[in-house]
Amino acid sequence: MTQFAASVDDAVADIADGMLLAVPREVSGVPMEATRALIRRGVRRLHLVALPTSSLQADLLIGAGGVGTLETSAVSLGEFGAAPRFTQAVLNRSIVMKDATCPAIHAALQAAEKGVPFMPMRGLIGSDILATRPEWQVIANPYADNHDPIVLLPAIVPDVALLHAPLADRDGNVWIGRQRDLITLSHAARSTIVTVERVVDDNLLADPLRAPGVLPGFYVDSIAVAENGCWPLGLPDHYDTDAAHMKEYARLAASHDGFEAYLARYVLTPRAKAS
Amino acid sequence: MTAPNMIRDEELLASTIADLIGDVRHVAVGNASPIPATAALLARERGRQRGVARPYVSLLQSRKHNFFTDGGRELFDCAGQGRIDVFFLSGGQIDGQGNINLVAIGDYDAPKVRFPGSYGSAHLYYVVPKMILFRTEHSRRTLVEKVDFISAPGVSADGVHRTGGPIALITNRCFFRFDPARKRFRLESVHPGHTVEEVREHTGFDFDQPDTVAVTTPPSPETLALMRNTVAPQVAEVYPQFAAEIFNITAHPA
């Protein structure tokens, strides 16, 4: 069922312009090599959903002109400062921003996981986040004796979940460890593309210690090997964020020309070594 | 290098926050929050001294001080059930009714300034009983009469599920308590070296105050010793630069 792509570029070939693409937050395994492949291909008008926040990935995709709509709860480079291309795009109104709050994105994807049309969620009432999201409805809790308004969030069903994980096996099972957000994303999405550090020969589901941290190959459409695939972000328990590179990014991306120079140097030039 | 008898602002703030945390079951601290993290770990050490195994401290930025195994949603699920007693939020703007703005300055559709976004505030602010607002920059730019965008409101209309909300706002100048019935802050104390007049001058919202405003109680020698000797090495594991600067302590290699 799972295809093994010959390259990361091949793996992302099915992510078409305008698709609803869902990606994880920084600590979960952000597929940066695959993101660069998407930019090299010149992807456009993505509806990017980041569960529940994003950093370099959204900033890079936005700066490269690949995003039409962004739905997330925050974009920041964290200790490296504000996300400059995101900030500029919102100020220029060159993307449609759908502001959310973290648990709303979790809940909307969980609705998709369950195949139900919406999920109720506490909070939000009286916020301007709710005021700017006409598709989010407030209903009276039908099970309450007293007046109890509650927000309903329509399910988010991504066309593609794009993930990075440490290991896959030959059957397409992917070991995600404790990064359960990756499972939520994959369950919710119509298809899942995963880049991995390496492929192992034994079956990951056969090991009772690893099996609970496995995204079964049943959900996975395509896998490509991308060693250091989160770089310059880190992969928890495997490698740290490349702080020097992130500082360089923050400095260059502060201006349009600097960002173009960054793209030319680190993104648009294919890496010499095939992965 | 800090003279041993000198109390740093960060130590005063952490000590004040630890007192506010009090004796609770679970304190969670978000990313990039070294002073609240110091306060939470200090509250835990005080619990240990009293022989109680609380509060449980979850530092979301830390691998070690973070038990969550069900993804990012587990924090919010925990909070929704009432399993988190204390959390910390800040704001690009905070107003006199306890509303916080983490999104933008100006018109939302054509903003002048854009912040990263609301994160989990529009849920946590409603359901965590002790929400502590923490903003070191105390100015008319940050503490405004009315926020331009409400990421999360300080109070809710009758009938809206609201098991939590702000209890206090701690800044570099003072300590406000929040009164949800009056929908206003009340000046509790000014930090040593600061004055009520100065607080008025630099606060964009009106607030209540008692006839005599106290000076924020500095940490006792016992608290300082606990913070510097026992808490600081734990802080250094998560915030090495902060710990080096404030406590002159270096993290052990991971």
Q: Are B91 and B135 in contact (CB under 8 A)?
A: yes
Q: Are A11 and A222 in contact (CB under 8 A)?
A: yes
Question: Are A101 and B108 an interchain contact pair (Cβ–Cβ within 8 Å)?
Answer: no
Nearest-by-CA chain A residue for B111:
A91
Position A33 scores a pLDDT of 98
Interface probe for A, chosen from B119, B126, B146, B163 (most Cβ of A below 10 Å), is: B119
Nearest to A28 by CA among A186, A159, A152, A147: A186
Query: Does residue B61 lie within any of the structural domains?
Result: yes
Range of the domain at B177: 9-90+128-140+152-247
The string of pLDDT tens digits covering residues A220-271 is 999 999 999 999 999 988 999 999 999 999 999 999 999 999 999 999 986 6
Cβ contacts below 8 Å, chain A against chain B, sum to 135
Residues 99-128 of B with CB under 8 A from A: 102-104, 108-112, 114, 116-127
DSSP letter, residue B251:
P
B51 three-state secondary structure: coil
CATH number among 3.40.1080.10, 3.50.50.60, 3.90.25.10, 3.40.605.10, domain A3-101+156-267: 3.40.1080.10
The string of pLDDT tens digits covering residues B130-169 is 999 999 999 999 999 999 999 999 999 999 999 999 999 9
Please give the full DSSP string across A86-105, using - where no structure is assigned.
HHHHHHHT-SEEEE--HHHH
Does the interface predicted TM-score (ipTM) exceed 0.90? yes
Nearest to A117 by CA among A153, A71, A159, A150: A153
- On the question of pLDDT at B253 being above 60, the answer is no
Distances (CA, A) of B185 to B93, B128, B143: 15, 18, 11
Element at B13 (helix H, strand E): helix B9-21
Question: Are A75 and B116 an interchain contact pair (Cβ–Cβ within 8 Å)?
Answer: yes
Q: Are B55 and B27 in contact (CB under 8 A)?
A: yes
Nearest to A191 by CA among A22, A7, A70: A22
Nearest-by-CA chain B residue for A183:
B71
Core vs surface per residue B41-56: b (16+ CB within 10 A) or e: bbbbbbbeeeeeebbb
Would residue A169 be called left, alpha or beta, if left means φ above 0 and alpha means ψ between -120 and 50 degrees?
beta
Nearest to B138 by CA among B200, B208, B218, B79: B200
Question: Are B150 and A126 an interchain contact pair (Cβ–Cβ within 8 Å)?
Answer: yes
Question: Are B116 and A93 an interchain contact pair (Cβ–Cβ within 8 Å)?
Answer: no
DSSP letter, residue A267:
I
Shortest Cα distance, chain B CAs vs residue A132, angstroms? 9
Shortest Cα distance, chain B CAs vs residue A210, angstroms? 14
Mean pLDDT, range B77-97, rounded to an integer: 97
Question: Are A129 and B151 an interchain contact pair (Cβ–Cβ within 8 Å)?
Answer: yes
Q: What is the CATH number of the domain that holds B45?
A: 3.40.1080.10
From chain A, the residues in CB contact with B120 under 8 A are: 52, 73, 101-103
Question: Are B110 and A93 an interchain contact pair (Cβ–Cβ within 8 Å)?
Answer: yes
Query: Does residue B122 lie within any of the structural domains?
Result: no
Rounded to whole angstroms, how far apart are CA atoms A274 and A225?
10
Shortest Cα distance, chain A CAs vs residue B40, angstroms? 21
The string of pLDDT tens digits covering residues A46-64 is 999 999 999 999 999 999 9
Q: How confident is the model at residue A275 (pLDDT cuts 50, 70, 90)?
A: very low
Shortest Cα distance, chain A CAs vs residue B31, angstroms? 9
Q: How confident is the model at residue A273 (pLDDT cuts 50, 70, 90)?
A: very low
Query: Does residue B25 lie within any of the structural domains?
Result: yes
Question: Are B123 and A124 an interchain contact pair (Cβ–Cβ within 8 Å)?
Answer: yes
Rounded to whole angstroms, how far apart are CA atoms A104 and A119?
9
Query: Does residue B19 lie within any of the structural domains?
Result: yes
Q: Where are the domains of chain A?
A: 3-101+156-267, 118-154
Question: Are B121 and A101 an interchain contact pair (Cβ–Cβ within 8 Å)?
Answer: yes
Element at A136 (helix H, strand E): none
Query: Does residue B118 lie within any of the structural domains?
Result: no
The string of pLDDT tens digits covering residues B175-211 is 999 999 999 999 999 999 999 999 999 999 999 999 9
Query: Does residue B54 lie within any of the structural domains?
Result: yes
Position A274 scores a pLDDT of 41
Position A271 scores a pLDDT of 60
Q: Kindly state the tokens that stand for A133.
A: 């999201």
Rounded to whole angstroms, how far apart are CA atoms B229 and B232?
6
